[in-house]
Amino acid sequence: MPMLPHETFRLVERYGAQDSVVERLRSELEARGWSQSELSRRLADLRPPYHLSQGAISRMLAYDNPREITVDDLLAFVRVFGIPMDEFVLPTSITYEVGGWGAYMTAVDKLERLREARTEYDAAVAQARALVDEHAGLTPRLKWHRERLLETDPEGETAEVQAVDAVLGTTRAKKAKRT
C-alpha cells in the first residue's frame, strides 16, 4: 500500500533521506547478494543506462564523509531495485513497519466485511425459517432438495447443504473415523 506524499515527506523529514537511502542501499545489496561492482554493472544495463562506478558507490556507502546521493542516483536505484521511491527513501525498519501496518489494516477490513456478510447471512436464514414456518409445504421440499445435494456431497460441505441445514435447523452428524 503506497503512502501518501505528505506521509512520505513527514517520515523523510524525521529520519533523513541520505542516511535512509544509504541504509536501504546496503540492505538491498545484501539481500540480493550483489557486490558494488554488480550494482554498477546493473545500473549501466538500465535503459537509458546510468553510469555510476563501483568507486562512487563505495564512497556513497562510506561511514566517514560519504559522497552525497543525488536525485539522479536515487532515481536509478529505484529503477534497478524495482522499489517505489516512497519506500526507498525510508529506513528499512520503517518500511517494514508501514508494510506491517498496511497488512494489519487489510486484515481489519476483511474481518469487517466477513462480519457484515455473517449478519446478512443470519438475516437471510431467519427470513427463510419464517417462510418455512408459514408454509408447511416448504419443509418436505427442502428436505428432498437436501437429500439430492447429499448424493453429490455426502460430507455436506458445500454452502448449499449448510444453508439448507441452517434453514431447517438440522445438523449432520460427523462420520466417526474408523481405525
Return the pLDDT at 120.
97
Going by the DSSP 8-state scheme, the letter that residue 177 receives in this structure is P
Return the pLDDT at 174.
42
Q: In the structure grid, which three cell numbers stand for residue 154, read together?
A: 455426502
pLDDT in tens, 23-77: 889 999 999 999 999 999 999 999 999 999 999 999 999 988 888 888 889 899 9
Q: In the structure grid, which three cell numbers stand for residue 111, read together?
A: 474481518
Determine the Cα–Cα distance for residues 103 and 111; give it in Å rounded to an integer.
12
As a whole-number percent, the residues of the chain with pLDDT over 70 amount to: 84
Return the pLDDT at 87.
80
Fold designation for 5-90? 434 Repressor (Amino-terminal Domain) (1.10.260)
* Domain chopping of the chain, boundaries: 5-90, 115-168
